[in-house]
Amino acid sequence: MHDRPHIFDLDRESLQAIVDSIGERRHVTDQVLQWVYRHGVLDVESMTNISAGTRKSLSHSIQFKRGTVIEDQLASDGTRKVLLDWGAAPGSLPVLQEKQAGTRRSEAVMIPADSRRTACVSSQVGCPVGCTFCASGIGGLDGNLTRGQIVEQIHHLRSGEQGGRITNVVFMGMGEPLANMVAVMDAIRTMNADWGFGIGARRITVSTVGLPTAIRKFVEFEIPVTLALSLHAPNDQLRRELIPWAEYSTIDELLDAASEWFHSTGREITLEYILLGEVNDRPEHARELADLASQMRANVNLIRYNEVEGMPHSRPRDEDVRQFQRILRADGINSHIRASRGRDISAACGQLRHESHEQSDQS
């Protein structure tokens, strides 16, 4: 039964083709899309305005849910984190090597703030980048998530007692989005489509550690999303110590690609900078970063490091974070300090893993 196409892998045209192939009327396509995306219903039998015979045909032709929520945690600040198990369905997750069953799992986070409900989604299981401050890369990469698995994360985050309409999406969960670009772009198309979740392009942010060639290719994407560059260091030497993939490109090359993004799309890029205590949070680092940011149209998001057991870094002092921001602003750089959300359930930036809480405790 796993060879049935996943509903979240389908766009409107491909769903229409399935409806046509089983001899059903074309309006069934719109009925199914409304149940799935507007009402969050994946149980075919609950789609009550569709005839019983048609529901049976659909259930034999389409897989409506692929992931299983095995942990659902709520932080004291209202942040919600779900751990999803994708099972062993063929085609759902290419396995790069034989590993424990738990490596077919990924986490997603919902962050409420005023009128916004932001979904932080994963694009991969594990991460190939291996940043020295991020839990997602522990154990490396286990595989790419499909379009449908990326989109299904939003379904699970908006479901249940703590659910609700998702207004924003950030690709800041597990994985490097531009290393899984085709699936990510297709998922964004579903998120943005009027037949899908209907989330505006400017409310979708893709965060990348920086692949100049991939950024230039992403420029051609027809949906004008926001691009965030995970810089995390103001010079190449320090960046290579923190981010192994920095070996493959210089900061100058990344900023050239980012500038091309701005000139082609008209959208400012966001520079993300995780502050690590006594590592990259010194005044001289702030001055270096100000020099870089002044070369382009960008704003800077400062992120306090969120502790990860077994990693060598510490959270910076609040005084140092504020001083860092003051130096940037004194040089005319638009900068903000991002609030750490969900730390008490390890849902904050850099803390997402692919194992359950129990597995983590036993490791």
- Where in the sequence numbering do the catalytic residues fall? 107, 349
Strands 141-144 and 168-171, by their bridges, are unpaired
* Nearest to 118, CA basis, from 188, 38, 214, 205: 205
Q: The sheet that has 204-208: what strands, in order across it?
A: 68-74, 80-85, 105-113, 116-120, 168-171, 204-208, 226-230, 269-275, 298-304, 335-338
* Nearest to 229, CA basis, from 189, 178, 184: 178
Q: Which residues contact 100 (CB under 8 A, 6 or more apart)?
A: none
Residue with tokens 């809480």: 357
Integer Cα distance of 73 and 37 in angstroms: 24
Integer Cα distance of 363 and 347 in angstroms: 19
Q: What is the DSSP letter of 179?
A: G
Integer Cα distance of 136 and 138 in angstroms: 6
Integer Cα distance of 361 and 101 in angstroms: 17
Tokens of 186: 């297709």
* Nearest to 206, CA basis, from 65, 247, 192, 251: 192
Q: Give Cα 190 distance to the centre of its chain.
A: 14
Integer Cα distance of 134 and 320 in angstroms: 21
